[in-house]
Amino acid sequence: MSDWIDIAPLENVPQRGARMIKTAFGCVAVFRTAEDEVFALDNACPHKAGPLAEGIVHGKSVTCPLHNWVISLETGETQGADEGRVATYPARIENGRILLDRVFLKARVAA
């Protein structure tokens, strides 16, 4: 069963932008698209662990700031010729606030 944690107001993350969340098991990046969708992914590119929260967000993708790998926010998969995948976590907006599923913490423990 889902157990949603209230993270922050949506406006604290800029449109076409991201912010990072610290957890006991590493950092998670929370993305907000131009259409106000939110996504949560591990904050590490599969290539050289670049901080994805610092990348440029376009459409439903983010480009890693270190070497321009492009990663789908929906699937966590790298786009184009590069191969790799980033873990994704359930995220949603309710009453203008960003919620993440507590289960993701457990998932990270298991990982």
Partner 1 sequence: MTQKLIVIGAGMATGRMLEALIDAKVDYDITLINGEARGNYNRIMLSPVLSGDKTYTEIVTHDDEWYKLYKIETRFGCFVQNIDRENRTVTLTDEEVLPYDKLVFGTGSNPFMIPLPGHDLEGVIAYRDLEDTQRMMDLGPDHKCVVIGGGLLGLEAAAGMAARGVAVTVVHIMGHLMERQLDEAAGYLLRKALVDKGITVKCTANSKEILGENGRVKALLLDDGTELPCDLLVMAVGIRPNVKLAQDAGLAVGKGIHVDDQMVTSDADVLAVGECVEHDGAIFGLVAPLYDQAKVAAQTLMGEHAQFVQKELSTKLKVTGCDLFSAGDFADGDGREDIVFRDPARGVYRRLVIENNVMIGAVMYGDTTDSNWFFSLIRDKTDISNMRDTLIFGPAYQGGTPLDPLAAVAALPRDAEICGCNGICKGQIEDAIAAGASDLGAVRSTTKASGSCGTCTGLVEQVLAVTLGDEFVVPAAAAICACTDMTHEDVRRMIKSQRLMSMPAVWQECGWKTSCGCHVCRPALNFYLLADWPLEYQDDPQSRFINERKHANIQKDGTFSVVPRMWGGITTPDELRAIADAADKYRVPTVKVTGGQRIDLLGVKGEDLPDIWADLNAAGMVSGHAYSKGLRTVKTCVGTDHCRFGTQDSTGLGIKLEKELWGSWTPHKLKLGLSGCPRNCAEATCKDIGVVCVDSGYQVSIGGAAGMDVRETELMVQVATEEEAIDVIKAVTQLYRENAKYLDRIYKWMGKVGLDWIKERVETEGPALVERFELSQSIYRKDPWADHVQTKADRYQPLANLSLEAAE
Using CB under 8 A as the criterion, which residues of the chain lie in contact with partner 1 when the complex forms? Answer: 5, 7-8, 12-17, 19-25, 27, 30, 34, 48-51, 54-59, 61, 63, 65-66, 68, 70, 98, 102, 105-106, 108-109
Of 3 and 83, which CB lies nearer to partner 1 in the complex structure?
3
Closer CB to partner 1, 13 or 86, in the complex: 13
Shortest distance in whole angstroms from residue 1 CB to partner 1: 13
Closest distance between partner 1 and the C-beta of residue 65, in Å? 4
Contact (Cβ atoms closer than 8 angstroms) between residue 11 and residue 93: no
Task: Report residue 13 as tokens.
Answer: 């993350």
Query: Quick one: which of 53, 43, 40 has its CA closest to 101?
Result: 40
26-59: buried (b, 16+ CB within 10 Å) or exposed (e) per residue? eebbbbbbeeeebbbbbbbbbbeebbbbebebee
Rounded to a whole number of angstroms, the minimum distance from the CB of residue 59 to partner 1 is: 5
